[in-house]
Amino acid sequence: MQADVAIVGAGPSGIFTALRLIRERPQLHIVMVEKGLPIEKRSCPKARAGRCVQCSPCRITTGFSGAGAFSDGKLSLSHEVGGDLPELIGCDLAQKTINEVDGIYLAFGADEHVEGVDAPESVRKIRLRAIQAGLKLVDCPIRHLGTEKAQEIYGRIERDLIDRGVEIVFNTDCRDLIIEDGACRGVVAEGPEGALRIDAERVIVATGRRGADWLEHLCSEHGIDHVPGAVDMGVRVEVRNEVMERVNDVLYESKLIGYPNPFRNKVRTFCQNPGGFVSQENYDGGLAVVNGHSYKERKSENTNLAVLVTHNFREPFNQPIAYAQNVGRLCNMLGDGHILVQRFGDILDGKRTWQKELSRSNIKPTLVDAVAGDITSALPYRTMTSIVNFMLAVDQAIPGFASAETLLYAPELKFYSNRVRMDERFATNVRGLHCLGDSSGWTRGLMMASVMGYLMGGYLAEEL
């Protein structure tokens, strides 16, 4: 197959590259290679079966729109949130592009309401409590798409791309890059009908968190400049809505950051889902990780959010993704292939949680097939200690957050630790190759990945 541009991965960064490029250069032949299914065929069988049936590949983490749209569908509207892309392109350009990309989401049907901007005095009081607890509050305007509404929006985008002539090859796994004489000439993929070679003038790799490990191996194999970065490991915390009511009503999502003793690792809250549901995602090799969903219409009695500890490794160690994967597999082993859940009070008491104890609590787990156990037997001491001390600090700002009944699910892992070296126009040391989104190590989340893709589409429109 011949193409002007080949895009590996149909997540937000790949989508917005194609979206802008096909509008500005409609004569170009753009081919997107996606491991998963079209969005209209993406549905998790767990709702019917009552348990994870180990789809391969996982329908929550793969397919058009990627994993982000099938979690909670939040667009962070500040350049201060979403990774380190502003370091590469500048804060002003990042914020300007966020505003442009936000307008595109609105054009495709996103909710016009923005969370976290209507009550500045209430935000000030929450920030004061955070400061008194030794934490930093990052208040960020948020446009909440909602899991089900995000699927509708991305469905419209998918149809728009196809109608404009973008060729999307689904259920096809990219195996390798074609690199000759220091330039990327295309990709080799495997689909239902066998091997597929796509020759292209430019290749965009935008495989998301799920593809971060794969991209790291390619970087090592082909000499693509990269450095190992940090890795985030932690838990998904679930509390009653009443505990988070003030924060939910004022900010929708509280982004709290702390550096608790004794290790002073960065610990942060992430991906808060008021009235949400804890969910399971599956990665290649059978690794099960925990995440959270938040719907526009369907609500639970609980709020869930991640508490993540950032680990920075130094020489000679250079495999942070593999390290986190092995921690995750240990959690899965203790849960017999399921997500582990434990009450915070049991962690403080040094005991495991038993299934019968969960039924007596005010908090009913929304991940019904999670297995009660002892997550402290799997997560490293440094990680677990940082989580406990951070949660005790958050409890000072949000009373009840660290109650005995608070639920902790593990493992929550974020795979974006490989950082590809590139210039401000996202060019790597291999001619014709660009790496975008969370797998590049520069973004975290829907909006900033979309921003990176939108800018890439503009650069390609100028150059091709």
Per-position DSSP letters for 130-143, written without gaps between them: HHHTT-EEE---EE
Q: Which residues of the chain are modeled with pLDDT < 50?
A: none
CA angle (26, 28, 186) in 5-degree steps: 150
For residues 408 and 375, give the distance between their C-alpha atoms in angstroms, rounded to a whole number.
8
Q: 208-225: string of b/e by CB count within 10 Å (b at 16+)?
A: bbbbbbbbbebbeebebe
Determine how many CB atoms are found less than 10 A away from the CB of residue 272: 25
Q: Which among 383, 395, 397 is positioned nearest to 136, based on CA atoms?
A: 397
What pLDDT was estimated at residue 71?
Answer: 67
Instruction: Specify the pTM.
Output: 0.91
Burial of 360 (0-12, 13-18, 19+ CB in 10 A): exposed
Q: What is the DSSP string of 392-430?
A: HHHHHHSTTTT-TT-EEEEEEEE---EEE---TT-B-SS
273's enclosing H/E stretch is strand 267-273
Boundaries of CATH 3.50.50.60 in the chain?
A: 2-110+145-227+419-463
What pLDDT was estimated at residue 70?
Answer: 72
Q: What are the pLDDT digits (tens) for 338-363?
A: 999 999 999 999 999 999 999 898 99
What pLDDT was estimated at residue 229?
Answer: 79
For residues 409 and 374, give the distance between their C-alpha atoms in angstroms, rounded to a whole number.
10
Output the CA–CA distances (angstroms, integers) from residue 26 to 30, 57, 64, 198, 432, in the order listed: 9, 32, 21, 20, 20
Q: Which among 256, 66, 227, 224 is positioned nearest to 150, based on CA atoms?
A: 66
Q: Quick one: how many helices (H) and strands (E) in the chain? A: 13, 21
- 253: tokens are 């999502």
- 371: tokens are 């297995």
What pLDDT was estimated at residue 279?
Answer: 94
106: Cβ–Cβ under 8 A, 6 or more apart, which residues? Answer: 112
> 3-class SS at 101?
helix
CA angle (311, 316, 322) in 5-degree steps: 55
Provide the sign of the torsion angle of the four alpha carbons 353, 359, 361, 362, taken in this order.
positive
CATH of domain 2-110+145-227+419-463: 3.50.50.60
For residues 3 and 307, give the distance between their C-alpha atoms in angstroms, rounded to a whole number.
43
